[in-house]
Each structure stands twice: as structure tokens, then as C-alpha cells.
């Protein structure tokens, strides 16, 4: 086939307690029934030109019309091996984002796609890349397609999701992320891979070392572009895109589109086909949002009761230290909990995610590092112990549940001093939550919404992490293995200049 390079919300009932303005006395007490949400609604849809609130930019107008959506994967022009793999995976009907973008991305057009998390964006871009690479062989160090993701977890999820399809068309993939040995990743690139899935910081490192050259890249995907800009990766992303041939294909997917993303769109995408689902319209219909009003004194006990539920849960806090403390508290209370945050090594993070997916861990306590890139089948509850301060973070945290048509609940514990801020956040996110007052950890309403129950109080522990055997060190000067990242620890008298502080990387 040809490989063109040219850019050729159950109706979420407003329930009895919509969230918006304060009522009556002007103070926040127990929510009154049937308050109406007083925020304006935004329309979604195709194309562009409408300006959204919340800092989002006006979508670009497509000059050359895009191709019509499809309703069956078999109707797409892509290799038979990919279609057969889709069938084996039980996939016959594309999701909305897949149906709208795949005909155009397969035809080589640039694509700008906005859709909620869990909507199938990975296959939306992955199938197009693999179809392009079918039957191709990359030179050493010269990949032919790149997917950029903001976090290690998301990069690994992309790789895991695409692996069976890549195998079917014999496309070699490499995942290059921070926190893992760079020499192994460099070796993979030197052997030759067609598709690289990377975090921006690590890919730039490999480029600077000469282990990855982008002059033969035909397609670049920016997955969750908004988070990459929020995390400070804009310089790295820009530098990477500047190294890619100007006539290559660009696919940008994001759950929100703010002005930082706008810079990338206007500079690097050429007449993109736009598919945009507004966050309010695109909110998963099987997802419910709950604000539980709690006191400061009862907050931890309430969170503990939720974590002790019969079922898994992801719980978010603001800081690494708070995550570690909560995980230890839950273990001491009889809940199999584990922390996940950027202060843990990549092997630790990988092991924790594996334990959570296998069910060994039932409560995953996390910072925003886990808000993207975690997919666990059947996860039906996400809890914000610490409410997020940004509506985008709220949407991405909640996106860990109600994925791929499943149902789920997003619960936020709100103390009195947080109610005004949560009102504003819900307004910006265009969400009508259900509100309840929870007076103590054994409140029946808490159990109804979350399945909370009294923890056993019997301390538990998780399986110990495997020990790494110490490698023998050879005599100085005889090529013995050295420990420590970029060449091992240096003696205090070394005259070698200190490595400059690097830009953020994950």
C-alpha cells in the first residue's frame, strides 16, 4: 500500500444537588435539593472556530475537507494483518475518535484530536503509524515514527497497547523513558527500530548522544500534548519537532487544548483535520461525579474507610510525602495500599502498577504522575483526597475510571474551606456533581456512594521487592563495571566539570 508523506455523560441527571452558586444564607451548609447548575454549556462537534472558555483556543479551520468517518474497522484502508489483529482483540467498531480520525491519518493528513481520556486515542494514532510502517525497515539509529508521551507510565501503556498490532506487521518498537538504563535504550536504537515511544527528556538525551537521529522520521504523534506543556516539556518537544523533516505527518491528541498547545498546532501542523469533543459533551456517560462534604477532623478516617472497600480504588493526594504517609497508614489499618509518585524509581513504579493490575494492591495512592497512563480494567472508583486545583487535572484524574464503556465514580472529599474553589472548578469543567454531607466514616451515604467499610485494623504488608545482586567491580583501569547512571560515582578530587542541571524529564 502507499505510504504518503504529504499532509495530504445514564444521562447524567442533574440529580437533586447541582453544583454552582451558593444558596440562601450565603454560607455553605448541607446542600439543598434541586439546586440548579447555573453555568453556561459549551457545544462540541467537528471543525473549529468557536472559542472556548477556560483558556482554550479557537480551533483552526480545516481548508481541505477531511474524509468521512467510518463505522467498521474493515472499511479502513490498512493492512489485513492489522484488521485480523483487531478481530482477535474483539474490536470491530471504532470509537468516535477512531472513526473520525483514522481515515484521515491513514491518508497522511495532519490531525488535531481532542477527546476525553479512555476514548481510544492510542489506537486512533497507533493503527495509522503501523499501517505506514508495514513492510518497512529502519536504519540503525534512524527511526521512522515517534510517539511522544508526558509520563513513563503513559509511554509504557502506549507500547503495551500497540505491541500485538506491531507484531502482526513486524514493526520493531522501542520505549525510551527516564528512570531506566539509558545504555539499554541506546542499544535498541542502534539495532534499528521503526517506531519509538518516548518521553521528551529521554529522547533528547539520546539525540544529544547521537543514538537517535530523526532525519528519517515520517510521522510524529504528540499524545496528551496538554500535559507535556503543563509539565514544562515545551522546549524539548519543540526541539524534537524541529529535527523532524518538515514534510512529515503530525498527529496531536489531547483531552484539553490550552494556549500552550495552540503554539504547537500553529507552528507544526499543516491544515490539520480537526476532531473535537468538548469536555462537557465528551464526558463519559457512564461516569458519575460526587462531592462529599467532610470535616477536617474526619477526612483521613473517611478516606481510610473508602480504601477498605471491597474493590480497587485510586486515591490522589497533592504531594509525595502525603502519598507515602497515607499508604503507610492504610497498610497499618489493614488495607493493601501502595504509593505511586515521581520520587520512586521506575522499577518501583512499574512493580507497583503491576501489583495493582494483578489485584495484589487494592488501593493505589498517587500524585498526578498517575493521572495519565494507567489503565486497569474494571476500575470503578477514583477518589480525590486532596482536590485538584485545576479542572484539567480533575478531568485527567477521573479518566482512570469509566474507560471503554465501563461505569465508574469520581469522588472528591471537600472540606469547608475548599467548597468555593470546588464550585469554580466544577464550573470550569462543566460538570454537575452529586453532593452529599458525610458526617463520619460510617455514614450510610458514604457506604452507598463508595462502598466504604470499617477497615480490619490488622496491619498488612506487601510482598517484598526482589533484591538486586551486587555486581562485582573489576580492578581500577581494567574495565570493571561501574555503578551509577552516566558512568558511576566519581572521586572527590575529580577535575571533571560538574554536569549542568538538566531540563525536566520523566
User: Please, where in the chain does CATH 3.40.50.300 lie?
Assistant: 45-277, 285-450
Calculate what percentage of the chain has a pLDDT beyond 70: 76
pLDDT tens-digit readout, 171-188: 999 999 998 899 999 999
Question: Starting from the edge strand earliest in sequence, which strands make up the sheet with 249-254, in order?
Answer: 45-46, 273-276, 111-114, 249-254, 219-223, 145-148, 195-198, 173-176
Calculate what percentage of the chain has a pLDDT beyond 90: 58
Measured CA to CA, the distance from residue 123 to residue 165 in angstroms comes to 10
SS3 category, 84: helix
C-alpha cell at 419: 467548597
* pLDDT for 102 beyond 90: yes
Q: Which of 227-241, 282-296, 358-372, 390-404 has the highest mean pLDDT?
A: 227-241
Average pLDDT over residues 91-106: 94
| Dihedral over Cα of 361, 363, 366, 371: its sign | positive
* Residue 383 parent element (H or E): strand 381-384
Tell which phi-psi region holds residue 451, choosing left (phi > 0), alpha (psi between -120 and 50) or beta. left
Better-predicted residue by pLDDT, 322 or 486? 322
Measured CA to CA, the distance from residue 149 to residue 121 in angstroms comes to 12
Looking up cell 463508595, which residue turns up? 450
What is the CB-side half-sphere exposure of residue 286 using CA atoms within 13 A?
16
Average pLDDT over residues 440-454: 95
* pLDDT for 313 beyond 70: yes
pLDDT of residue 280: 45
Fold held by 285-450: Rossmann fold (3.40.50)
- Count the helices and strands in the chain (H runs, E runs): 16, 15
SS3 category, 327: helix
Pair type for strands 273-276 and 145-148: unpaired
Residue 82, Cβ neighbours under 10 Å: how many? 22
Q: Structure pTM?
A: 0.67
pLDDT of residue 285: 54
* pLDDT for 287 beyond 60: yes
Q: Identify each DSSP E strand in 219-329 by its residue range.
A: 219-223, 249-254, 273-276, 287-293, 313-316
C-alpha cell at 479: 574495565
Per-residue pLDDT band at 282 (split at 50, 70, 90): very low
pLDDT of residue 189: 97
Measured CA to CA, the distance from residue 12 to residue 18 in angstroms comes to 11
pLDDT tens-digit readout, 459-485: 999 987 666 555 444 444 444 443 333
Measured CA to CA, the distance from residue 253 to residue 118 in angstroms comes to 12
* Residue 348 parent element (H or E): helix 346-358
CB neighbour list of residue 65: distance below 8 Å, 6 or more residues apart: none
CB neighbour list of residue 208: distance below 8 Å, 6 or more residues apart: none
* pLDDT for 310 beyond 80: yes
* Residue 157 parent element (H or E): helix 152-168
pLDDT of residue 467: 62
For the 45-277 domain, the top CATH level (class) is: alpha beta
C-alpha cell at 497: 566539570
Better-predicted residue by pLDDT, 169 or 37? 169
Q: Are 480 and 472 in contact (CB under 8 A)?
A: yes
Paired strand residues for 56: 258
pLDDT of residue 491: 40
Q: Are 260 and 230 in contact (CB under 8 A)?
A: yes
Looking up cell 489531547, which residue turns up? 254
C-alpha cell at 217: 522520521
pLDDT of residue 57: 63
Q: Are 412 and 293 in contact (CB under 8 A)?
A: no
Q: Identify each DSSP E strand in 145-199 by its residue range.
A: 145-148, 173-176, 195-198
Return mean pLDDT, the chain. Answer: 81
Paired strand residues for 222: 148, 252
pLDDT tens-digit readout, 361-405: 999 999 987 656 677 777 889 999 999 988 888 887 887 775 555
Q: Are 306 and 365 in contact (CB under 8 A)?
A: no
* pLDDT for 238 beyond 50: yes
Question: Starting from the edge strand earliest in sequence, which strands make up the sheet with 287-293, in order?
Answer: 337-340, 363-366, 313-316, 381-384, 408-414, 287-293, 434-437
Amino acid at each position: 500500500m502507499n505510504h504518503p508523506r504529504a499532509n495530504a455523560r445514564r444521562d447524567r441527571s442533574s440529580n437533586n444537588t447541582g453544583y454552582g452558586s451558593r444558596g440562601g444564607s450565603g454560607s455553605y451548609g448541607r446542600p439543598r435539593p434541586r439546586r440548579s447548575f447555573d453555568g453556561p454549556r459549551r457545544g462540541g462537534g467537528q471543525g473549529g472556530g468557536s472559542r472556548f472558555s477556560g483558556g482554550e483556543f479557537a480551533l483552526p479551520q480545516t481548508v481541505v475537507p477531511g474524509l468521512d468517518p467510518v463505522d467498521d474497522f474493515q472499511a479502513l484502508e490498512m493492512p489485513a494483518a492489522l484488521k485480523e489483529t483487531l478481530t482477535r482483540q474483539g474490536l470491530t467498531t471504532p470509537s468516535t475518535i477512531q472513526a473520525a480520525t483514522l481515515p484521515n491519518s491513514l491518508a497522511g493528513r495532519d490531525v488535531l484530536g481532542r477527546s476525553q481520556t479512555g476514548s481510544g486515542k492510542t489506537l486512533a494514532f497507533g493503527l495509522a503509524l503501523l499501517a505506514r510502517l508495514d513492510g518497512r525497515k529502519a536504519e540503525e539509529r534512524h527511526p521512522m515514527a515517534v510517539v511522544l508521551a508526558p509520563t513513563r507510565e503513559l509511554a509504557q501503556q502506549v507500547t503495551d497497547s500497540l505491541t500485538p498490532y506491531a507484531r502482526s506487521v513486524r514493526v520493531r518498537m522501542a520505549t525510551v523513558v527516564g528512570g531506566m538504563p539509558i545504555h539499554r535504550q541506546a542499544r535498541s536504537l542502534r539495532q534499528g527500530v521503526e517506531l519509538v515511544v518516548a518521553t521528551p527528556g529521554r529522547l533528547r538525551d539520546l539525540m544529544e548522544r547521537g543514538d537517535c537521529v530523526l532525519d528519517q522520521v515520517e510521522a510524529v504523534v504528540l499524545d496528551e500534548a496538554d500535559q507535556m506543556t503543563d509539565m514544562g516539556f515545551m522546549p524539548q518537544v519543540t526541539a524534537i519537532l524541529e529535527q523532524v523533516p518538515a514534510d512529515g505527518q503530525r498527529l496531536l491528541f489531547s483531552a484539553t487544548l490550552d494556549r500552550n498547545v495552540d503554539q504547537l498546532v500553529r507552528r507544526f501542523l499543516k491544515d490539520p483535520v480537526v476532531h473535537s469533543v468538548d469536555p462537557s459533551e465528551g464526558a463519559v456517560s457512564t461516569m458519575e461525579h460526587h462531592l462529599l462534604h467532610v470535616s477536617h477532623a474526619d477526612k483521613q478516617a473517611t478516606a481510610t474507610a473508602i480504601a477498605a472497600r471491597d474493590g480497587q480504588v485510586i486515591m490522589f493526594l497533592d504531594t509525595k510525602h502525603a502519598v507515602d504517609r497515607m499508604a503507610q497508614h492504610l497498610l497499618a489499618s489493614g488495607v493493601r495500599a501502595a504509593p505511586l509518585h515521581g520520587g520512586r524509581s521506575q522499577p518501583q513504579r512499574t512493580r507497583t502498577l503491576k501489583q495493582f493490575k494483578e489485584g495484589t494492591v487494592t488501593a493505589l495512592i498517587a500524585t498526578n504522575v498517575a493521572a495519565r497512563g494507567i489503565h486497569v480494567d474494571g476500575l470503578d472508583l477514583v477518589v480525590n483526597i486532596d482536590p485538584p486545583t485545576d479542572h484539567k487535572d480533575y478531568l485527567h484524574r477521573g479518566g482512570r475510571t469509566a474507560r471503554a464503556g465501563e461505569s465508574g465514580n469520581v469522588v472528591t472529599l471537600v472540606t469547608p474551606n475548599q467548597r468555593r474553589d470546588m464550585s469554580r472548578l466544577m464550573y470550569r469543567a462543566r460538570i454537575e456533581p452529586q453532593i452529599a454531607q458525610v458526617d463520619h466514616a460510617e455514614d450510610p451515604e458514604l457506604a452507598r456512594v463508595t462502598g466504604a467499610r470499617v477497615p480490619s485494623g490488622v496491619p498488612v504488608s506487601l510482598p517484598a521487592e526482589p533484591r538486586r545482586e551486587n555486581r562485582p567491580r573489576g580492578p581500577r583501569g581494567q574495565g570493571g563495571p561501574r555503578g551509577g547512571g552516566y558512568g558511576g560515582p566519581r572521586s572527590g578530587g575529580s577535575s571533571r566539570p560538574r554536569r549542568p542541571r538538566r531540563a525536566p524529564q520523566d
